[in-house]
A and B are shown apart, each in its own frame.
Chain A
Amino acid sequence: MFELLGITPQALFGQLLLGLINGSFYAMLSLGLAIIFGLLNIINFTHGAQYMLGAFVTWALLHYFGLSYWWALPLAPLIVGASGIVIEKLFISRLYHLDHLYGLLLTFGLALIIQGVLRNNFGISGLPYSIPPQLSGGQNLGFMFLPNYRAWIILVSVIVCFGTWFVIEKTRLGAYLRAATENPTLTGAFGLNVPLMITLTYGFGVALAALAGVLAAPIYSLNPNMGAELIIVVFAVVVIGGMGSILGAIVTGFGLGLVEGLTRVFYPEGSAVVIFVIMAIVLLIKPAGLFGRTA
């Protein structure tokens, strides 16, 4: 078997698979951001905090109510999504007539509050959460040991991402949404309740972030800062993809996960910045992003 830069093709394949798992998180988070941006025209800085909330609610459901992971899987996104709806109604909806930058600042402030409150109550060392017994263990694929839970992450995120894409691009509901994105006034004139659509869309985008949080709870350190650093990477993912298309957000998310995975093998020191470097290059060559329409 030939070796490429000291790494066997099997090991490389294993690393690519791991990259895909990271990509799953990028894809789900950037998808949520893209959907919210599409309709509300705001960058949801609270997204990272809402991802973290998803993980915390998962923990809280088990800790206080004895509800297992399988209950958390639908409940946590619903609860966090509902809190998102409250946030949209109370705060964000007051800003639509203003410059979009205010939405960014508002959600940044909200993220600080959420993180601060949880830090006060739970500290930062992280809370324990185990992988559900049905998904523990793993498969020996010959070239690597793949924990069942990681396979589960890929499965869920692929289904959710492409399910979302299908609903938006191929169904009637999606057509309304796209219409409202293009021209809210006209869509409203046709009798559709645009404000309600906006609220629900924000709730759905937030729920996506929370779902990613549920998936992350058993494998990543569950602490109030878990979303703060991640969200900045996801911003870069969004800039690279451009926010023109849903599919763009998904593909860029998975793709950059793979690229990052490769960097970890060949140049681990650079793995933290590789996405930002790609962002700089994309900005130079195609300022609107890979899938973006020029603003």
Chain B
Amino acid sequence: MNKTGFVLAALAASLMSTAVYADDINIKIGVLNDRSGLYADLSGEGSVIAARMAVEDFGAAEKGINVEIVSADHQNRPDVASTVARQWYDEEDVDVIVDVPTSSAALAVNELSAERGKVFLVSGAATSDLTGPACNATTIHWTYDTWALANGTGSAMVEQGGDTWFFLTADYAFGHALERDTSAVVEAAGGEVVGTVRHPFPGQDFSSFLLQAQASGASVIGLANAGGDTTNSIMQAAEFGITQAGQALAGLLVFITDVNALGLETAQGLVLTESFYWDLNEGTREWSERFAEELGTGNMPTMVQAGVYSSVLHYLKAVEETGSKDAEEVVAAMKEMPTDDPLFGPGEVRQDGRKIHDLYLFRVKTPEESEGPWDYYETLSTIPAAQAFRPMEDGNCPLVQ
């Protein structure tokens, strides 16, 4: 067949297929996250698998929704994220971008999604600005945010008697914000902040700052940092016998992958807040085992990956409901319909774009308590959805004012 003939045939074929399935909706989902850096285990390929599982579990193909999933690595850089997102929206007709860990990258994509009128389902990013000053009518922040984690860990620690705090803060905007939010929670709960030290970002050696924290005599050392800085601080706190001497460490942005990297020997006793744990109940276990089989690295799903699954599922439900892929229409439907899935249980999407569900306060088990690989958490308490997230009126989101 010559070239023209081939093109004509292809054209005819595509015309025919549109004729047959006139009601089909073609959706293109872009999973944009970290595939090589600090958050690759937290999001990465696992998030792509989670999105694919959502499409399969929903039975999209049978319902006349053709879903294509593309993915890219943003290297945790806002400039790369914005370049990829631009190209996806402008050139490749991507309808919805999901995941996007790293606050700076998520804010960049959020901005672009607002401008291009596309749906943005955030799971990996932390900043509560996404449902605050930077909120956008077509963005939904799914899994967790800094306010929720600070609130969960902060108030729970004070409740358990940790009423004097010393902050180890990464010296840049993100660390400052985390420190500010947690201080407010601690003070509101009746605790007191006795001191703070700002460490350079990224840091290697935290011993000097940890000794200052120790000298302060505070009962809790709050780690207002993230990623490698947090794991380093925890390791060195163990080395200098700080936790053994009676001070508690509170990780304000720690994930199960960090605990896995640290090992229980070092991480034991750490208190943290997450919105999902694979071993919570029958539903999470069943899903997580399927997930782990697909992923094949031996890792269990993180809350970020679970959030990708849950958000894509709910998005597809809304597409089915509205029979359209118009961003505003679909997101309005997503906010209208209550959410429910085995991973996060019942919940809802608020007008400011915040998805709310229960959060859990966990304590990392000791090596003796742990019964097998990835058996890391003991549940201390459940924070009910209504109290877990920042009240809508405090967020300064222009959509709800």
> Touching in the complex, A and B, CB below 8 A?
yes
Give A contacts to B, CB under 8 Å: 11, 14-15, 18-19, 21-22, 119-120, 123-128, 130-131, 138, 144-145, 147, 149-150, 219-221, 223, 226, 229-230, 261, 264-265, 268-269, 271-272
Q: How far is the CA of A125 from the CA of B299 in the complex (A)?
A: 14
Question: Is A226 in contact with B204, judged by CB distance below 8 angstroms?
Answer: yes
The distance from the CB of A267 to the nearest CB of chain B, in whole angstroms, is 10
Residue ID in chain A nearest B207 by CB atoms: A18
Q: How far is the CA of A269 from the CA of B258 in the complex (A)?
A: 26
Residues of B near A264 (CB, < 8 A) are: 208-209
Given A138-B240, A145-B240: A128 and B212 interface contact (C-beta under 8 Å): no
Q: Which of B188-225 contact A (CB under 8 A)?
A: 197-200, 202, 204-205, 207-209, 211-212, 215
Q: How far is the CA of A264 from the CA of B208 in the complex (A)?
A: 7
Given A138-B241, A269-B171: A11 and B228 interface contact (C-beta under 8 Å): no
Residues of B near A223 (CB, < 8 A) are: 228
Q: How far is the CA of A220 from the CA of B235 in the complex (A)?
A: 8
A-B contact pairs, 13 of them (CB 8 A): A15-B208, A125-B40, A126-B228, A126-B231, A128-B261, A138-B239, A138-B240, A220-B204, A220-B232, A221-B231, A221-B232, A229-B204, A268-B209
Residue pairs across A and B with CB atoms within 8 Å: the count is: 92
Question: Which of B37, B41, B205 is the one whose CB lies under 8 Å from A22?
Answer: B205
Question: Is B36 in contact with A120, judged by CB distance below 8 angstroms?
Answer: yes
Residue ID in chain B nearest A8 by CB atoms: B215
Question: Is B205 in contact with A220, judged by CB distance below 8 angstroms?
Answer: yes
Q: Which of B4-48 contact A (CB under 8 A)?
A: 36-38, 40-41
Question: Which of B41, B198, B240, B241 is the one whose CB lies under 8 Å from A123?
Answer: B41
Q: How far is the CA of A15 from the CA of B212 in the complex (A)?
A: 9
The distance from the CB of B26 to the nearest CB of chain A, in whole angstroms, is 33
Given A15-B211, A18-B211, A138-B240: A128 and B263 interface contact (C-beta under 8 Å): yes
Residue ID in chain A nearest B35 by CB atoms: A123
Question: Is B239 in contact with A219, judged by CB distance below 8 angstroms?
Answer: yes
B134 close to A (CB within 8 Å):
no
Residues of A near B235 (CB, < 8 A) are: 219, 221
Residues of B near A230 (CB, < 8 A) are: 204
Question: Is B261 in contact with A125, judged by CB distance below 8 angstroms?
Answer: yes
Q: How far is the CA of A150 from the CA of B207 in the complex (A)?
A: 10
B379 close to A (CB within 8 Å):
no
Q: How far is the CA of A124 from the CA of B40 in the complex (A)?
A: 8
Residues of B near A19 (CB, < 8 A) are: 208
Given A131-B239, A268-B197: A123 and B40 interface contact (C-beta under 8 Å): yes
Given A18-B208, A125-B40, A125-B41: A269 and B228 interface contact (C-beta under 8 Å): no
Question: Is A124 in contact with B36, judged by CB distance below 8 angstroms?
Answer: yes
Residues of B near A130 (CB, < 8 A) are: 263, 265-266
Residues of A near B245 (CB, < 8 A) are: 145
Q: How far is the CA of A230 from the CA of B262 in the complex (A)?
A: 22
Question: Which of A127, A219, A229 is the one whose CB lies under 8 Å from B202?
Answer: A229
The distance from the CB of B239 to the nearest CB of chain A, in whole angstroms, is 5
B324 close to A (CB within 8 Å):
no
Residues of B near A138 (CB, < 8 A) are: 239-241
The distance from the CB of A6 to the nearest CB of chain B, in whole angstroms, is 10
The distance from the CB of B84 to the nearest CB of chain A, in whole angstroms, is 19
The distance from the CB of B213 to the nearest CB of chain A, in whole angstroms, is 12
B366 close to A (CB within 8 Å):
no
Residue ID in chain A nearest B203 by CB atoms: A272
Question: Which of A126, A147, A265 is the one whose CB lies under 8 Å from B208?
Answer: A265
Question: Is B236 in contact with A268, judged by CB distance below 8 angstroms?
Answer: no
